[in-house]
């Protein structure tokens, strides 16, 4: 891994962890506000819970792209496909 790709990966990780931290802060505020106000969690669009669900789904997709489908996975898949294309010719 060269410097530029390592720098880009660290930058993406930093952005992801910041987003995750903000999600946790906002979710905590909304849920604790619901509990103290109503005594239960209210799942309505205007209350913010549905927005948190959508935000959570987006963060999950980003996490999969960042940790599972990263450049190493892509390079391994490219190498496997290149090996499949090399067929021996029998004369």
Q: What is the pLDDT of residues 25-84, one digit of tens each?
A: 998 888 777 777 776 666 665 666 788 889 999 999 999 988 888 878 788 888 888 887
Would you say 23 and 55 are in contact if contact means Cβ atoms under 8 Å apart? yes
At residue 39, the pLDDT reads 67
At residue 37, the pLDDT reads 73
Q: Is the pLDDT of residue 17 over 90?
A: yes
At residue 36, the pLDDT reads 74
Alpha-carbon distance of 15 to 47, in angstroms, equals 26
Q: Any idea where the domains of the chain sit in the sequence? A: 14-80
At residue 90, the pLDDT reads 67
Alpha-carbon distance of 85 to 91, in angstroms, equals 18
Selected residue with higher pLDDT from 4 and 2: 4
Alpha-carbon distance of 78 to 20, in angstroms, equals 31
Alpha-carbon distance of 72 to 79, in angstroms, equals 11
**How far is it between the farthest Cα atoms of the chain?**
81
At residue 62, the pLDDT reads 93
At residue 84, the pLDDT reads 79
């Amino acid at each position: 891994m060269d410097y530029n790709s390592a720098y880009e990966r660290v930058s993406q990780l930093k952005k992801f962890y910041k987003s995750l931290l903000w999600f946790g802060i906002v979710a905590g505020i909304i849920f604790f506000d619901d509990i103290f106000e109503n005594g239960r969690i209210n799942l309505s669009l205007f209350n913010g819970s549905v927005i948190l669900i959508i935000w959570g789904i987006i963060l999950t997709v980003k996490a999969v792209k960042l940790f599972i489908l990263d450049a190493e996975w892509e390079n391994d898949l490219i190498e496997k496909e290149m090996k499949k294309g090399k067929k021996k010719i029998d004369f």
